[in-house]
Amino acid sequence: MRVSKYFLPTLKETPSEAQIASHRLMLRAGMVRQEAAGIYSWLPLGFKVLQNIEQIVREEQNRAGAVEMLMPTIQPAELWKESGRYDAYGKEMLRITDRHKREMLYGPTNEEMLTAIFRSFCRSYKELPKLLYHIQWKFRDEVRPRFGVMRGREFLMKDAYSFDVDEAAARRSYNRMFIAYLNTFARMGLKAVPMRAETGPIGGDLSHEFIILADTGESAVFCHKDLVDMPAPGLGVDFDGDLQPLVDERTALYAATEDVHDEAAFMEVPEDKRLSARGIEVGQVFYFGTKYSEPMRANVTLADGSEQPVHMGSYGVGVSRIAGAIIEASHDEDGIIWPMAIAPFKVGIINLRQGDEATGAACEEAYTALVEAGLDPLYDDSDNRAGAKFSRMDLIGLPWQLIIGPRGLKEGTVEIKERASGERQNLSLEAALNLLRSKNVSAI
Ligand code: 5CA
């Protein structure tokens, strides 16, 4: 992409309404625009980031054996009356009346709808287990939408739902999602720690939140330090095998959000391993058994002919929140520092002397080569002065910058800068392109 053809409305001033770094940087980098409290447009740069996050989530869901589908944003109120949550959900639910005076709502989550889908097609234990997900916009009329996309009212969520014959089988589905989440967040360069959590309006008695440690996080959390740097299981994990030992490794050590925190148990953690911090919840998994299947009569026939409500769990990832969470975890005073896997463009090309023939030709050569290598470059071919190009490239945080100007070219070199370390190297254009090609991996 060429800057001259793109839409990149970066801001020089820091918007006054933004209280935390990620919100400020998303506005300044031209990623989002607020349309109403907690409701955002995703401008081209932000939308690319959102799509990259979504794609990693999708790949890891598929790898874990979940099957993608798509449910609508608008739901009929009847379903929620059946489960008993229509009144219980309260003011957070955006209620809508259609022209026929039918009660509708903008879905805050989809347990009811998927339970209804399941019961209309599945009747026998032979069809179990089933694990289905979608990636769809949700609406929750939060009392205090804040921190930009981190606590929005409209937000993008991946939500998966599992159906199993009994609790033991449901635990296996829970474990699949648990392990898939560890790999998902690791691929995004995030250290997410699973912590025991309150189940809130979703229900049930087993739940973990996946938490990124950050001073600006909304939740107070307590955990064993060793959990923070524990490596993810990796993409080679066998999802059809026994995942319990991998889950146990993480759940044996103390980790809890403040709602379920047990001070006495925490004191048993050796003092130098006790971590009390703040965190951002990027995902949550729930096992709630028959909470929805029982009132909604989602039953299956067992081998002995008896009928039983199916055992369920649900599994959410805050796709749009993660855009903010990654920036919160990875930025400096100059701007965002994208991990390679999430970066909207992998390389930024800076033309130091717009109009100079040799510089233009070298930039074009680099651009073509990087496009061919699948590195999705953003070429700053604008008429801005070099200083403005540098600071804008730092602000939008592309992992690599390729800086090309007449002086270097005379010596046969271009400059390459790594955004994260600030390290610069002067290389021939060919060597610079080779170096960039070698970085084109989305490692876990
Ligand atoms: N039905 C369950 C699991 S599918 C559910 O709704 N879980 S949840 O309430 O925990 O939401 C899942 C994830 O969505 C959260 O972990 C969080 O990352 C994200 N999320 C929740 N509320 C918001 C919000 N207001 N703004 C942005 N992201 C949110």
Atom 29 of ligand 1: nearest residue by CA position: 318
Model confidence over 425-443: pLDDT tens digits?
999 999 999 999 999 864 4
Q: Which residue out of 173, 193, 321 has the highest number of ligand 1 atoms within 8 Å of its CB and is therefore the one to mutate?
A: 321
Kindly state if the Cβ of 109 falls inside 6 Å of ligand 1.
yes
Decide: 281 in ligand 1 pocket, CB within 6 A. Answer: yes
Q: Which contacts (CB < 8 Å, 24+ apart) does range 25-33 have?
A: 25/327, 25/331, 25/335, 25/336, 25/395, 26/148, 26/149, 26/323, 26/324, 26/327, 27/148, 28/335, 28/395, 29/335, 29/336, 29/395, 29/396, 29/397, 30/396, 31/323, 32/148, 32/149
Atom of ligand 1 nearest to the CA of 157: 14
pLDDT value of residue 53: 98
157 CB within 6 A, ligand 1: yes
Our answer on whether the CB atom of 318 is closer than 6 Å to any ligand 1 atom is yes
Nearest CA to ligand 1 atom 27: 151
Q: Does ligand 1 have an atom closer than 6 angstroms to the CB of 282?
A: yes
- What's the average model confidence in pLDDT over 118-128? 97
pTM for the whole structure: 0.96
Measured in Å, residue 319 CA sits from the centre of ligand 1 at: 9
pLDDT of residue 443: 42
**Is 202 touching ligand 1 by the criterion CB < 6 Å?**
yes
Residue nearest (by alpha carbon) to ligand 1 atom 19? 318
List domains and CATH numbers for the chain.
Answer: 3-335 (3.30.930.10), 345-438 (3.40.50.800)
Ligand 1 centre to CA of 173 (Å) is 19
- For 294-334, write each residue's pLDDT tens digit: 999 999 999 999 999 999 999 999 999 999 999 999 999 99
Residue 324 CB–ligand 1 contact under 6 Å = no
SS (H, E, C) the chain: CEHHHCCCCCCCCCCCCCCCHHHHHHHHCCCEEEEECCEEEECHHHHHHHHHHHHHHHHHHHHCCCEECCCCCEEEHHHHHHHCHHHHCHHHCEEEECCCCCEEEECCCCHHHHHHHHHHHCCEHHHCCEEEEEEEEEECCCCCCECHHHECCEEEEEEEEEEECCHHHHHHHHHHHHHHHHHHHHHCCCCEEEEECCCHHHCCCEEEEEEEECCCCCEEEEEEHHHCCCCCCCCCCCCCCCCHHHHHHHHCCCEEEHHHCCHHHHHCCCHHHEEEEEEEEEEEEEEEECCCCCCCCCEEECCCCCEEECEEEEEEEEHHHHHHHHHHHCEECCEECCCCCCCCCCEEEEECCCCCHHHHHHHHHHHHHHHHCCCCEEEECCCCCHHHHHHHHHHHCCCEEEEECHHHHHCCCEEEEECCCCCEEEECHHHHHHHHHHCCCCCC
Distance 145 CA to ligand 1 centre (A): 13
Question: What average pLDDT does the segment 384-404 reach?
Answer: 97
What is the CA(125)–ligand 1 centre distance, in A? 30
**Burial category of 145 from C-beta neighbours within 10 Å (exposed 0-12, middle 13-18, buried 19 and up):** buried
Per cent of the chain over pLDDT 70 is 99
For residues 52-80, give the mean pLDDT: 98
CA 396 to centroid of ligand 1, rounded, Å: 27
Which atom of ligand 1 is nearest to 142's Cα? 25
